[in-house]
Structure formats: structure tokens, C-alpha cells
Amino acid sequence: MKNSEIFFGKDIISLDQFNRKSVEKVFATAAKIKKTPTKKLLKILPGKIVGLMFFEPSTRTFSSNSAAVKRLGGQTVEYQNPLSTSSVVKGETIEDTTKMMEQYCDAIVMRHPIVGTLKKVAEVADVPVINAGDGIGEHPTQALLDMFTVFEKFKHIDNIKGLIVGDLLNGRTVHSIIKCLSIFPNNTLYLLSPKQLRLSNKDLEEAKKRKIKLIEIKSFEEIPADCHFWYWTRVQKERFTDKQEYEKLKLNFILTKKLVDKKAGKNTLIMHPLPRVGEVETEVDNDPRAVYLTTEAKNGMYVRMALFSLILEDRK
Ligand code: CP
């Protein structure tokens, strides 16, 4: 199969769909797009329309997908809160809503609070569907942009040592990153979370079967030297039924400038999918190693441009 055929017309629902070749293709395409003049990019998707339906709030994923389509010369049909602005409010099913969007759009990007909904939507839709986050399940395009950011810096995505901190139980970006790094050899992730927010036993068992080493640690003291990246995450308030429990756990691990100076390597990337809600001090923002407000966020647009071009671009 030719490289260009790996993605054309396909859905992106989970990192389970990816192998070494397909991840490398996304990274190579994003790197190429990043260097391509703006005017030339506009010729990639003229006449294409992508539907964006976000049943959960979003700053980055929504905006970067919208910008990505437009920067490639395409257009969007956008629903930022379909639960109050679409006919879902009248009781329309997700299946019928999907079939309607498919009549108007060449692809659908959807975020939904319920795990598995995107898989169901992809089965119903006759156009490509991209998972923009399904509850506590996965966020595949975020993981791809995060790992592209690591790849761009270190020029490899194997033999990586990373630290992930925060809500590992509910963090969908974390679940996709573990799967992404599992595709490549000799990767190790150090995991630090409140014990209530450890990876689920199911996720830990699954990871054991994959090519990745997960090491759970209990404190900042155990953070190893010279990680390629630190990946902080927010405790996901919206997944808690007990708000007191959330308050108890939300700021257990705060990233401070002092910690960065003491424990991060000179090349360690300081990352966060955002939004942050207090777990990363703003004093860290100006550290040259901190990329969450800059390169990491911007790469979200480039990686999504890469995916749209691979999935939708007409190839003669
Ligand atoms: N990283 C991320 O998914 O951010 P948003 O929720 O703002 O899209």
C-alpha cells in the first residue's frame, strides 16, 4: 500500500489504529506543512467542508481544527454546543445527527462526553470521522501533536524517557500517548498521580502487553534525571461525581519553577495539553523548556492540517 493510501478516506478514532509507518507519515506530513508557504497550502483542500461538532467545551481542539481546514483552503460547518444549538435539543439521535452532517460535509470532527460514541459515529458515517476526545477514552490527535512536538525536538520517538503527572485515570490524552509511545521500542514513562487517579487496572494490564515500560512513582523525589519530556495534566473536574473529592485531589502535584530548576534536564520539554487550572504556576511559562502555550499548541494546528490533507486531499 502506498503511503498516501494509508489514510485517504479513513477515520481517526484511536491510537490502536496506528503503526510505526502511519505515525511517521503524520509527523513527516506535519513537518512538511509547517515549512510550506501559506499560499501553496490553500490549494490542498479547496471545495472541501469539514463539520465540527463539539458536545463538550474546547478552546484548542476546536479552534485548531477550524484553523487547520481554513489554512488548507477548505471551509467548516461548526457546532460549539450542539446540546443547545442543534436539533439534538429536540431529541434527535446522534446517529441521525451524524447522517445529516454527512450530507453537507466531507469529514466530521466530533468531541463527546461518552466513551465509545466516536466509534459508533464512525460506523454510522460514510465520511471520515475524527475523534476530538471521547469522555475519558482517547484523544488521538492530541497525542499525535504531543508526540510530534517531542519528535521535532529530539528527532526520534524511540528510546524516550517521559514523565506524566496528574489525572491518569480520566486523562484521555494520557491514554492515547501511552498507546502512541507503545508503537516504538524502548520507551519508558514515569507516572505520578494521586492514588485515586492512577491508570485503571485495565489500562495498566493492556500496557503490560505493549512495548512500553510504565513505572509508577509516588513523589517528586523519584523523578528521574534527564527526561525527554514532562507532561503535566489537570485533574478532570467534570469526571467527578464527588466534588469534595475533586477539591482534595486537584492540586496535589503543582509544577513550580523551583521544581523545574531542580529536577528537569536542560533539554526536557515541559508540556501540558491544557487547559491548566492551577497545577502549573505561571512562573514556568517563560522557561525556554516550556512549550505548552507555544510550540505544543501550534503544532496542534499543523498535525491536524497533516491529518486533513492525508485523509481528504484529492489524489490524481
Ligand atoms: N487539549 C485540549 O483538548 O484542549 P481543549 O479542551 O481546549 O480542546
Instruction: List b or e across 136-151, with b for residues whose CB sees 16 or more CB atoms inside 10 angstroms.
Output: bbbbbbbbbbbbbbbb
**Residues forming CATH 3.40.50.1370 domain(s) in the chain:** 15-138+299-312, 140-296
Q: What is the mean pLDDT of residues 41-46?
A: 97
- For domain 15-138+299-312, the CATH architecture is 3-Layer(aba) Sandwich (3.40)
Cell numbers for 7: 489514510
Q: Model confidence at 6, in pLDDT bands (50, 70, 90)?
A: confident
Determine the pLDDT at residue 284: 98
Question: What mean pLDDT do residues 18-40 have?
Answer: 97
In which band, very low, low, confident or very high, does the pLDDT at 1 lie, cut at 50, 70 and 90? very low
Return the H-helix or E-strand segment holding 8.
none
Q: How far, in Å, is the centroid of ligand 1 from the Cα of 177? A: 15
**CA separation for the pair 251, 117 (Å, rounded):** 30
The answer, yes or no, to whether any atom of ligand 1 lies below 6 A from the CB of 61, is yes
Instruction: Answer yes or no: is the C-beta of 60 below 6 A from any ligand 1 atom.
Output: yes
pLDDT tens string 145-185: 999 999 999 999 999 999 999 999 999 999 999 999 999 99
C-beta of residue 10 within 8 angstroms of C-beta of residue 128: yes
CATH superfamily assigned to domain 140-296: Aspartate/ornithine carbamoyltransferase (3.40.50.1370)
Q: Kindly report the protein residue whose alpha carbon is nearest to atom 1 of ligand 1.
A: 273
Picking from 123, 113, 12, the residue whose alpha carbon sits closest to that of residue 58 is: 113
Q: What is the mean pLDDT of residues 186-199?
A: 98
Ligand 1 atom with the shortest distance to the CA of 63:
8
